[in-house]
Amino acid sequence: MSDPLHAAAPRPDFLTKPVLDGDLVTLRVVTAADIPALRPLWEEPECRRLTGSHPLPPEESAEVAEAKVAAWYTTRAGQDDRLDLAVVDRAGGLVVGEVVLNEWSPGNESCSFRIALVAAGRNRGLGTEATRLICGYGFEKLGLHRISLEVYAFNPRARRAYEKAGFVVEGVLRDALLWEGRWVDSTAMSILAAEWERHRGHPGTG
């Protein structure tokens, strides 16, 4: 007999990849065709710094690295435990970044969130809207209880965008990143389902 106190929540349907329309952006599944548009996310030094992405192991050849990138983006549409969406700028129809719900914790009904936009997509409200769209989908359609992230202390723009979308600071992970010889703190943030229900990504008006 199953134990009702410990019954597992239904598995969220991560395999259905939605198209999410906002005023500024459309989110849809990311594919290998998006690699040229997204390449600055892993090649631009400033983006690598802001996301705390250390260099690849020097022993890995460019060909091997490129094959890994191709395999990664080719397989995103088939993932049943995460959501990797491209951010399309509705103004010009170009892909300007990606948003991800990953690290799904089945027992805890939670996911991590991350976002990165190329330079042309930044500072125009696209990141805030993309965050609201995917988090709304995570809470309202996937039934998540908690979505969390970490943001480095040298990235106040990202923190501001997250706060605008409803992320709440939980605490500081001290010296979480070593970047070019300096230790950098990381701030942990999250949104809970009950909070989302109140403000739906607009905490100032909730």
Nearest to 9 by CA among 108, 140, 138: 108
Q: Is 198 in the site for ligand COA (CB under 6 A)?
A: no
Of residues 125, 136, 143, 203, which one binds ligand COA by CB under 6 A?
125
Q: Which two tokens stand for residue 73?
A: 């983006």
What are the C-alpha distances in Å from 160 to residues 22, 169, 178?
19, 11, 23
Residue nearest to ligand COA (CB): 127
Nearest to 124 by CA among 151, 97, 84: 97
**Phi, psi values for residue 187, rounded to 5°:** -100, 130
Residue position matching structure tokens 């996911």 = 111
The distance of closest approach from Cβ of residue 14 to ligand COA in the complex, given in angstroms and rounded to an integer, is 22
How many other CB atoms are found less than 10 A from the CB of residue 83?
Answer: 26
Binding mask 130-169 for ligand COA (x = CB under 6 A): ---------------------x---xxxx-xx--------
How many other CB atoms are found less than 10 A from the CB of residue 186?
Answer: 19
Contacts with ligand COA by CB under 6 A: the residue count is 21
Stretch that binds ligand COA, among 28-36, 76-84, 123-131, 177-185 (CB under 6 A): 123-131
Q: Is 85 in the site for ligand COA (CB under 6 A)?
A: no
Q: Is 94 in the site for ligand COA (CB under 6 A)?
A: no
Of residues 18, 22, 48, 51, which one binds ligand COA by CB under 6 A?
51
136 alpha carbon, distance to own chain's centre: 13
Q: Which two tokens stand for residue 132?
A: 């609201």
Based on CB atoms, which residue is closest to ligand COA, 114 or 145? Answer: 114
Which DSSP helix (H) or strand (E) runs through 127? Answer: helix 126-140
Residue 190, SS3 per DSSP: strand
Stretch that binds ligand COA, among 5-13, 26-34, 113-121, 193-201 (CB under 6 A): 113-121
Q: Is 190 in the site for ligand COA (CB under 6 A)?
A: no
Strand partners, 69: none
Q: Is 123 in the site for ligand COA (CB under 6 A)?
A: yes
Based on CB atoms, which residue is closest to ligand COA, 126 or 142? Answer: 126
Task: Name the residues that contact ligand COA, by CB under 6 A.
Answer: 47, 50-51, 97, 115-117, 122-128, 151, 155-158, 160-161
